[in-house]
Structures are given as C-alpha cells and as structure tokens.
Amino acid sequence: MGFLPQEIIRRKRDGNGLSEAEIAGFVAGIADRSIGEGQVAAFAMAVFLRGMTREEAVFLTRAMTNSGQQLDWTALDLPGPCLDKHSTGGVGDKVSLILGPLLAACGAFVPMISGRGLGHTGGTLDKLDSIPGYNTAPDIDAFRRVVKTAGCAIIGQTADLAPADRRLYAVRDVTATVESIPLITASILSKKLAAGLQGLVMDVKTGSGAFASTPEEAQALAESIVGVACGAGLPTTALITDMNQPLGTTAGNALEVAESVAMLTTGKGDGRLRDLVLALAVEMLLLGDLAENRAAAEAKVEAALTTGAAAERFAAMVGALGGPADFVERAADYLPKAPVQRPVPAPAAGYLAACDTRAVGLAVIGLGGGRRRVEDSIDHTVGFSGLLPLGTALQAGDPLAIVHARTEEAAADAIAGLQEAFTIGQTEPDAMAAPLVHRRITGDDT
C-alpha cells in the first residue's frame, strides 16, 4: 500500500476532497483486509460527517465496483434486457419479492443482488432465508443459469461481486453511518454495476420509516444515485415514494414472504403495496424498451400479476435456488411460525392518524427479527401481521396488528412499542395528504 490509511481518514475528517487514486487505494485495502475494522469504521464516519462531492462519489462507486468480478450477460444471448430495481429500505418493504418475478413474466431478465437488513429496515435476503433450502449465496455460474431459466434470481453478494462493499456495508450497519448519501449511492451502484445491468429503477423512500425522512433528503439521494449511475453508463430512473407507514400488512421476514406469495398467487392484496409494485414495474418496462408506451406497460404488468404468470416465475426461482418445488402452493406449510401470537389492542377510539414507522421497524428488531450487531442471527418467525393502514377507524381494544413473538415477554414489549408508534386522532385524516409516489427523477433532472 503506497499510502497510510490514517492519512486518508484524516483528510476526509478535515473536510478535504480525496483523489481517485486515494479512494481506489483505500477501497482496495477494505477489500483485501489490509485496512483494519477500526479504520474502515473511521472512514465511514468521516464520510458521514463531511460528505463527498459528486465526483468523489463516482470514484468511490467505481472503486467498489472494480474490487471484484463484473458480470457480462452477452454470452448467454438473452432475448430481453437485464433490468433491476433497488429500494433504499423501509419497514414492510417486500416489493422485490413480487417485482422481480413480475418483470421476468414481462420479458425482462432480473439478476437482483440484494442486501440484508440495515438499521431499522428489513433486508430482502433475510426474508428469503425464511424459505427452507433457498440459497441466497449461489456461485456465479448458478446465478447466471437461474437468471436465464427462471428469468430472475434474487441473491446476496457473492465473495466475487463488490467485496469492498460487502465489508463496508456490515460496518455501516453497526456504526450509525447508514444514512450517508455518498455511502448509500456507492453501495447500491457498485453491486448494480457489477451485475452488468442495462437499466435500473430506484425506489427512494421518504418519511418516518425511511433513511431520508424528508422529501428534500430523498430528492438529494435520488439525484445522487441517478446522476452517478447515468455518469457510469447505467440508465437509471428513480421514484420517490412514501414510507410514513409500513408497506403492506406485514413486517417481519417469514410474514412478508407469506404476504408476497399471496399477492403473486391472487393478484390482490394491500393497495399501496400493489400500486407501488406496478408503478416500479412500468418504469422498468419503459427503461428496457419492453413496452411501446406507458399505457401498454401498465396493461402488461397488470396482466402478468393477475394471470399468475409472475407467481410461476417466483416458483421457478425458488425451486432453482434450492427451495421447495411446491413452495408457492404450500407456503403456509413451509414458512416457520412464531410460538406466541397476540393481538395489539388500540389504546383508544379514533382514527389512525400517524405512524412512527421507524419505531415499528425497531420493534421487529426487538423481537429478534433484525440485527443489533453484525454477527447476530435472525428469528425469521417474528414480526407483525394485520397492520392497519393510516386512516382506519378504530374502537378502543380493536387490534392494530397481530404480534408474532418467541416469548410472552417479548410480545408484551412489542405490543407496547407498536401502541406507542401509532397516533390515534379524533378527526378522519385526509387520505390524499401523502401520495404514494412523490416524484419521478430521470437523468435529465441531475
């Protein structure tokens, strides 16, 4: 190593810009572990506090992409584009489980490299780990084979893809450095660029359950991701979407898989979840030239969901990655269940007026459904089901949700946490006050 890691940290700590060579050298040290855990954490905190310019973010993204293997799909001669979607994270966000198969049913190929939970948000891989036998870490050849045959494969980072990000991602989760625009941008895009995509749609959350709690923060993050991605040659569109309440009716790993399978098999379910899945799918079809116009894209994704074509792709993916061949038909038999299930009574009558969505996510973690430390294991059975949407009228004692817990004590703590997370008002809230999609951002906006 031709430089001292502590000097790079010091320069960023003091607010100085870093060169491409400096960033590339530090990232190489993260990847080959010649830089210690403490120095990785210090670098993350320095970037969190001091930020990075757009140019530095491009350098960081490029270095992390180049830290490992980069996939090329041309040899497979796929009859459609390689597209993907990424969410900045939220509570109850199981969109990827539905959207990946939906896109495959519309003619796209979806090599989706997902992450584990970060902070108060759930991770797609943690959800998939609740499916018996499902392998979230296949080798690259198996990954390519499943993408070609099933049309989609949702897996985690292999040791070969963006290894610097894998290590930095884990450190950020436990050092309060998750909510950094340059670090989020580089983390997301390094994996996506390494996956060899031809188009990406970002779901940037805003609200009480998002890292970007205000629309202004979400817009800055969306513009950073779209700008850096387009600058790196990856056509990208972002939707800024609402996370002021959990997405769907469940929060917790196995519970979210069950909700996703139900929507795939019936074409129905929570309105906000369904609308968001379809909105993102439309953007992806347009980006991949799989529909002539927006109306055609809307018709195509609606048909793929309601006919069961998307469910068939999900079943093919699960089976090809080691899960049960009949998982979609028998999900309730295969998914693990918590031994304690208790209703969460509403403490008063009125309307659900607001939700501290982050607190809901933290309650899931408190139940054991997320990590406090990198090495923590996850209880896939715990969480909440039957979560009510904002605006619901309640009588005192009506269930706000059902808590799924390992013990009665844990259930009691989660009940208190959920009751505190919801605000019950006496006037019916305006259903149109918080639109699901706040804004659409393209490369022209950055």
- 411, 424, 423: which is closest to 363 by C-alpha? 411
- Cα 365 to Cα 50, 118, 252, 338: the distances in Å are 29, 11, 9, 14
Report the SS3 class of residue 386: coil
For 233, the 3-state DSSP assignment is coil
Structure tokens at 182: 């340059």
Both structure tokens of 416: 């208190």
From 381, 388, 376, select the one nearest 418 (Cα to Cα).
388
Alpha carbons 345 and 403: distance in angstroms, whole number: 10
Q: Please state, in angstroms and rounded to a whole number, the distance separating the CA atoms of residues 113 and 267.
A: 25
C-alpha radius of gyration, the chain, whole number: 21
Return the closest-CA partner of residue 182 out of 394, 338, 23, 66. Answer: 23
CB atoms within 10 A of CB 435: 10
Residue 139 carries which DSSP code? -
Reduce the DSSP state of residue 47 to 3 states and report it: helix
**Distance, CA of 161 to CA of 156 (rounded, Å):** 9
Contact 34, 164 (CB under 8 A): no
In three-state secondary structure terms, 181 is: helix
Catalytic residue ranges: 84-87, 124, 172, 187, 191-192
